[in-house]
Amino acid sequence: MRSLFLALFLRDIRLAMRRRIEALLPVVFFVVAVSLFPLGVGPEHDTLRLIAPGVVWVCALLAAMLSLTSLFAQDHADGSLEQMLLTGQSAVVVAVAKSAAHWTLTGLPLTIAAPLFGLLFDMHPASIAALTVSLLLGTPTLSLLGAVGAALTLGLRSAGVLIILLVLPLSIPALIFGTGAVGAVEAGQSSMAHYSILGALLIFTALTAPPAAAAALRISAE
How crowded is the C-beta side of 129, counted as CA atoms within 13 Å?
8
Gap between the Cα atoms of 1 and 89, Å rounded = 7
Q: Which domain holds residue 101?
A: 2-221
What angle (nearest 5°) sits at the alpha carbon of residue 82, between those of residues 77 and 88? Answer: 165
* CA geometry: angle 97, 98, 104, nearest 5 deg: 90
> Each residue's pLDDT tens digit in the chain (222 positions)?
678 788 888 888 888 888 877 778 888 888 888 888 888 877 777 788 888 888 899 988 888 888 887 788 777 777 777 777 776 677 888 889 889 999 998 889 889 988 888 888 888 899 999 999 999 999 999 999 988 988 888 877 777 788 888 888 899 999 999 999 998 998 888 889 999 999 999 999 999 999 998 888 888 766
- Spatial distance between the Cα atoms of 149 and 138, rounded to a whole number of angstroms: 17
Selection from 67, 75, 66 nearest residue 155 by Cα: 75
Give the number of domains in the chain: 1
pLDDT value, residue 222: 66
57 closest CA partner among 163, 194, 205 = 194
User: Distances in Å between the alpha carbon of 8 and those of 4, 70, 141, 198?
Assistant: 6, 15, 20, 27
Which pLDDT score is estimated for 18? 82
Q: How far is CA 139 from CA 77, 91, 155, 199, in A?
A: 27, 22, 25, 11
Q: From 33, 106, 32, select the one nearest 69 (Cα to Cα).
A: 106
Q: How many residues does the chain have?
A: 222
DSSP secondary structure letters along 27-67: HHHHHHHHHHHHHHH-S-HHHHHHHHHHHHHHHHHHHHHHT
Alpha-carbon gap, residue 127 to 124, rounded angstroms: 5
Under 8 Å between Cβ of 150 and 190 = no
pLDDT (0 to 100) of residue 45:
77
